[in-house]
Structure 1
Amino acid sequence: MKNIVFISGSPKINEKSVSEFLIQMAKRHMETEDAHKTFIDVRQSISKRKTLDDFEALSQADAVIIAFPLYVFCLPGILMRFLEDYYQFFTEKGKVNSPAKVYAIVNCGFPEPEINREAVRVIRSFCRHINADFRFGVLIGGGGMILGAKDAPFMKKTLGKLDNAFSAIAKDLQNKDKAGTDEIYIRMNFPKRLYFFMGNRGWFSAARKNGLKKKDLYRKPYLLHE
């Protein structure tokens, strides 16, 4: 039996997250009788003080699939804390079940999936420190559109690419070949100029809800004045 641990690294509290949606998509490709699946929500794990139980599950994993949004070109702080605490647990435990295969699913608000590369490098480095086998990442550009537009016709092609990527993970889980695998890059099938236009409208709307004006978004309070 393979123990597969899915980790959602989204910091969101009361909102649906793209990370959890992607994990649910990935799980559908791993519905086999010999697989035992565990889901870890990092925010819930920390806030409900159940990290030790989750760390124990991680230490017994044959495969770990981590999904998270890009925050300031890297991992969300809450996920960094979780992984750092697991590393401490790992060093104190001294032994885990076996070198787990690890996969990263990263989505960012930029249309270019390549921007996620640095975050994948962090996960790769983390794997070296815990003697895990990092396999590859699925890097998604424009991921913020997935939840709101998943039923739109133009998303059909993108969702098909995601399904193919998760099928590749499922296939790699069964493969005993240790050779490295290339990252998978997924772009939204959507005009870039229109994407930025709609994104800016979203920021303006959020500013109004928080009592700000459009011009407040362009302020630079970090500049020093003579």
Structure 2
Amino acid sequence: MEQILLIDASPRAPHSNSHGYAAIFMETSRAACTYIALRKNDLTQTVQKIERSSDIIFVCPLYVDSLPLPLLELFQKIEHSVMTQKPRIHVILNCGFLEPWQNDTALASVRLFCRQNGFRFGSCLKIGGGEAILRTPFRFLVRHKIRQFSQAVRCENFVELSVTMPVSKRMFLRASTRYWIRYGKKHRLTREQMTTSANRVEGK
């Protein structure tokens, strides 16, 4: 029987945007679905659940142009595990950038993992503006793409899809700057303090 396991690999799971994308998938999928939030102390149990599934969908954000640490740790656990059954692997990636192609490096990492460990790679969905799009009038665009993604997974007609907000980069930057300034004020941080912190991280 077809059994899809959605693994939310966001460090903020289950209180994450990735959880929102997983929830939409479960609403639109006709197959039996199970959602789990990835936890470091549950990696052995997660590998066992993966082996019992027909399809795995990793749902995660982009972190420094790469996959988040929880997913990389799971990949390492899988590489050192003996699995008698290896399900198909799919991925939904979201990034804070407007351009969906910013997810390409992380996507390539998943494809490489599959190739090196004998998993069949299926479909992918790359989401741009992933930190915001679910809270905008463009939410319907994501739902439509996830519905297409869900159908591709079910029918084994594997595709590479992408979606973002149909706004100019200038408008996106203005809106995102306003959001982060409000977020900083909520935590008693000024714009100057946030800029200083960002420069320190970048080594400037």
- Sort the TM-score into its range (normalised by shorter chain): 0.7 to 0.9
Separation in 2, partners of 1:2, 1:196: 42
Shift of 1:9: 0.8
- Alignment partner for residue 50 of structure 1, among 42, 50, 63? 42
Q: Do 1:155 and 1:189's aligned partners in 2 also have CA atoms closer than 8 Å? A: no
Q: Which runs of 5+ in 2 are unaligned?
A: none
Gaps of 5+ in 1: 176-180
- Matching of residue 166 in structure 1 with residue 150 in structure 2: yes
- Pair 1:188 & 2:172 matched: no
Cα separation, 2, equivalents of 1:57 and 1:217: 41
Q: Aligned pair 1:83/2:75, yes or no?
A: yes
What amino acid is aligned across from residue 189 of structure 1 in structure 2?
P
Task: Report if aligned partners of 2:149, 2:159 keep a CA contact under 8 Å in 1.
Answer: no
How far residue 158 of structure 1 moved from its aligned partner, in angstroms, is: 4.0
2:36 maps to which of 30, 36, 40:
40
1:31 is matched with 30
The separation in 2 between residues aligned to 1:157 and 1:4, in whole angstroms, is 23
- Distance in 2 (CA, whole Å) between partners of 1:157 and 1:38 is 24
Distance 1:186 1:144 in 2: 13
Deviations 1:59-108 (A, max 9, x none): 222211111011111111122112222222x2xx2x322x3211110011
> Is 2:10–2:68's contact at 8 Å kept on the other side of the alignment?
yes
Mapped partners of 1:66, 1:199: distance in 2: 26
TM-score, scaled relative to structure 1: 0.79
Within a 5 Å distance, the mapping from 1:72-111 to structure 2 comes to: 72-88=64-80, 90=81, 93=82, 95-97=83-85, 99-111=86-98
Question: Does the CA contact (< 8 Å) of 2:10 and 2:60 recur in 1?
Answer: yes
Alpha-carbon distance, 1:21 to partner:
1.5
Alignment-derived partner of residue 178 in structure 1: none
8 Å contact kept, 1:67–1:106: yes
Of all paired residues, the percent bearing the same amino acid is 25
1:1-226 aligned at under 5 Å gives the runs: 1-12=1-12, 16-32=15-31, 35=32, 37-42=33-38, 45-46=39-40, 49-88=41-80, 90=81, 93=82, 95-97=83-85, 99-149=86-136, 152=137, 154-172=138-156, 181-219=158-196, 220-221=199-200, 222-223=203-204
Counterpart contact for 1:74–1:119, Cα < 8 Å: yes
Contact map agreement 2:93 2:125 (CA 8 A) in 1: yes
CA distance in 2, matches of 1:157, 1:5: 24
Query: Greater CA radius of gyration, 1 or 2?
Result: 1
CA distance in 1, matches of 2:168, 2:149: 22
